[in-house]
Amino acid sequence: MLSTAGLRERRGDYGVDAPLTGLLPPGAAGLAFTLLAAFFGRRGQPTAAKLALAASLPASLTFGIYLHTTRRGKFLVWAEILERLELRGDEQVLDLGCGRGAVTAMVAKVVPRGKVVGLDLWRTEDQSGNSPEVTEANLRAEGVVDRCELRTGDMLNVPVADGSFDLVVSSLAIHNIDERDVRHHERRLHAIDEAVRVLKPGGRLAIADLLWTRRYAHRLRELGMQDVHQKSLGWRFWYAPGLGAGLVLARKPA
């Protein structure tokens, strides 16, 4: 089996997921209640201070969990996902919504004779400092830039021919499509259709995402994909207590 020893070493800087809508609110709320507790404490109002401190705890906990997941936890989980895929090392891989290249770089390390294409629209609201230049610098720092290609494009209309890839991965990206519209899933499911379209016969799919992975699995079964499995990825991929990512794996019929 291919060595996956380097998967847990990181030389790039991968920013923070959804900095303004995800990380900032619990951080600001935790800080505000902590300052309030200090203020009441100084004024000799211990009951009010205790209440403010108690109110700060859920927000501070959420902030800590979020920061851990975005800076460390998701990398550890993806290392395990990639190890379990037991790749040959010569695969053609597509990373949908690659962002600053967290998963692009990891998967490139396990396909030393292959190639990885990272596709993104580089939305900074979804990841801090998101840009192709930053991603390229990360891939260079990880020593994999020679086997990676970055493309600007929409995963709703993936600019590649049918049947091009042995593996399609996507980390925390598909839920960003129309994310404020929690009822209408058709466009998110269209990204699943696109992932299947660009897979070679026998190719595999690994998607880690928030909220909708059961729906993705259902769509994959409707599309005739085989070995469709869906599961929770556990606390290391939580973005708030109990709100974590799930994984969907599937294989296109040969």
- For ligand SAM, which stretch binds (CB under 6 A), given 35-43, 148-156, 220-228, 236-244? 148-156
Helix (H, G, I), strand (E, B) or coil at 144: coil
Nearer to ligand SAM, 117 or 155 (CB): 155
Residue 65 or 173 with smaller CB distance to ligand SAM: 173
Beta-carbon neighbour count of residue 11 at 10 Å? Answer: 11
> Which run of H or of E encompasses 249?
strand 243-251
Beta bridge partners of 127: 17
By beta-carbon proximity to ligand SAM, the closer residue of 122 and 165 is: 122
117 makes contact with ligand SAM (CB under 6 A): no
Residue 205 near residue 224 (C-beta atoms within 8 A): no
Residue nearest to ligand SAM (CB): 99
Using the rule CB under 6 A, is 154 a contact of ligand SAM?
Answer: yes
Collect all residues with Cβ–Cβ distance below 8 Å to 176 and sequence separation of at least 6: 97, 123, 126
Q: Kindly determine how many residues on this chain lie close enough to bind ligand SAM according to the rule CB under 6 A.
A: 23
Note whether 98 and 120 are within 8 A (CB).
Answer: yes
Q: What is the C-alpha to C-alpha distance for residues 51 and 182, in angstroms, rounded to an integer?
A: 34
- Is residue 207 near ligand SAM by the rule CB under 6 A? no
Query: Smaller CB distance to ligand SAM: residue 49 or 198?
Result: 198
Residues near ligand SAM, by CB under 6 A: 14, 17, 97-99, 102-103, 119-123, 126-127, 130, 154-156, 171-173, 176-177
